[in-house]
């Protein structure tokens, strides 16, 4: 089934989710990609939030904060080949709710660059 969303036209909303959970396997893959030990990668890029092991964030002008691996200028993932499992499976089907919303807002505003926010 063909995807009805285009991440290359999206400012990366899904990378702003507060709790993107990672497994030990995800951390090992990221560490290998970054040429770090899993311990160092964990210390730099992972935190525990409400008992969950999640990716750290940094501030973002559009969505408050984004995953620490998100390039805020280019609006893309900097570790795409080694991204964690949840990032590989999202949005779990041929459609993305945020993309539909973004498309609607851009058409409505007549602005292809408009960044729709949900907060
Ligand atoms: S929010 Fe949807 S369209 Fe945007 S980057 Fe994520 S999956 Fe792609
Ligand atoms: S690892 Fe990449 S795809 Fe996953 S949330 Fe971070 S920036 Fe987005």
pLDDT of residue 22: 98
> Among 9, 13, 62, which is best to mutate for testing ligand 1, by the most ligand atoms less than 8 A from CB?
13
72 near 60, Cβ under 8 Å? yes
Distance between CA 7 and CA 96 in Å, rounded? 10
Task: Assess whether pLDDT exceeds 80 at residue 119.
Answer: no
Identify whether 116 is part of a domain: no
Of 106, 108, 110, the residue nearest 98 (C-alpha):
106
- pLDDT category of residue 1 using cuts at 50, 70 and 90: confident
Question: Which residue among 66, 98, 106, 117 has the greatest number of ligand 1 atoms within 8 angstroms of its CB, and so is best to mutate?
Answer: 98
Put simply, whether the predicted model's pTM sits higher than 0.85 gets the answer yes
- Torsion region of 28: left, alpha or beta (phi above 0 gives left; psi -120 to 50 gives alpha): alpha
- With a cut of 80, say whether residue 118 has pLDDT above it: no
Q: Report yes or no on 114 lying in a domain.
A: no
Residues 40-60 have pLDDT tens digits of 999 999 999 999 999 999 999
113 phi, psi to nearest 5 deg: -100, -5
Write out the residue range of the structural domain in which residue 86 sits. 7-109
- Report the domain count for the chain: 1
Residue 28, C-beta contacts closer than 8 angstroms, at least 6 positions apart: 38
């Amino acid at each position: 089934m063909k995807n009805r969303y285009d991440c290359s036209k999206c400012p990366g909303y899904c990378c702003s989710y507060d709790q993107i959970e990672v497994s030990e396997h995800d951390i090992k893959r990221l560490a290998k990609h970054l040429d770090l030990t899993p311990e160092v990668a964990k210390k730099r890029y992972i935190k525990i939030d409400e008992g969950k092991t999640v990716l750290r964030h940094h501030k973002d002008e559009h969505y408050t904060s984004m995953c620490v691996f998100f390039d805020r200028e280019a609006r893309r993932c900097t570790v795409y080949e080694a991204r964690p499992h949840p990032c590989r499976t999202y949005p779990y089907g041929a459609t993305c709710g945020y993309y539909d919303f973004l498309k609607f807002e851009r058409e409505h505003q007549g602005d292809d660059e408009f960044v729709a926010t949900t907060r």
